[in-house]
Structure 1
Amino acid sequence: MTKKSKWKSFFYGDEEFEELDATPEPQQPANFQMQQQMQQQRPRVVKPQHTNDGNNVVKLQAVPNHHQQHTPKVRVFEPNSYAEVQAISDCIRDEQTVVINIHLLDSKQAKRVIDFIGGATYVMGATFKKISTDVFLSSPANVEIEGDVQQLLTNQTTE
């Protein structure tokens, strides 16, 4: 008994099988046939087509922190290092008006602080203004700033 016939008898029993001389047709696995049947039974879903108009910007809205009482506050910060920007940006996120005095920082750290705070202000849709040489103001979108503080300070120093 050849190995082929031993395997046949093992899987199919001792029944006699007719061997065909023709080359067998490739059979698709049962899983493939089941997948085809499932696809025919499923309703077809048309995916929406996205058009690329070149505008990949998503506007994010600020979510106020409702766990705290939302009373208008003006926070004043004099950071000694770049490590303090997280506390400043948390106030901006909570829609508080923030005044930042960077006179204690060296020019390299001051630039990093202003860049970070400016970015946080932009993300929240707030306004960021320079008040004087080392003082900046970040205010939420719902706070309106009237007048030019920098011009007022210049007028006061010349008088």
Structure 2
Amino acid sequence: MSVRLAHGIGDPPADRPVSAVVALGANLGARAETLDAAVAALRRLPLTTDVRVSAPIETVALTLSGEDENAPRYLNAVALLQTRLAPATLLDQLHRIESDHGRVRRERWGDRTLDLDLIAYGDERIDDERLTVPHPRAHERAFVLRPWLDVDPDAIIPGRGRVDALLAGLEDGAS
């Protein structure tokens, strides 16, 4: 299924700012410094204001085969921002920031110097070959939900529900 938006790669900026949610993670190198630099880069994005960031949390690495206690641990955070950038343009900027910090895409869910995921873009639902928002697995990831609540206690994932309830469901399932 492909959901088309009024926004596209070459489309003009939105008429008014949209709230976007970006998850940040790093498990290689100077993780805290890399996350700080990535947040500074988010703050410098054109047509983007009011960047708020959660406190970082440390988590076990998640691989295709599950949690890997032997892999370097991740430092994760969530940034909320107001932007007039079209979703695809914002995604391109996130990929540029990753690349600027040494991100190399060798394997899916592999170790990385920086990972920036666009989790939500307002209430939009986008499902195409380049971008899916809301992020299709965000509701299953405590390392996204917990820091998101740190910066927005009333957060909602469009189509999934309140972030606090989703996180409680994950934690109940872990017991």
TM-score of the pair, normalised by structure 1 = 0.27
Select the structure that is richer in helix.
1
TM-score of the pair, normalised by structure 2 = 0.25
**Larger RCO (alpha carbons 8 Å, 6+ apart):** 2
Radius of gyration: which is bigger?
Answer: 1
Select the structure that is richer in strand.
2
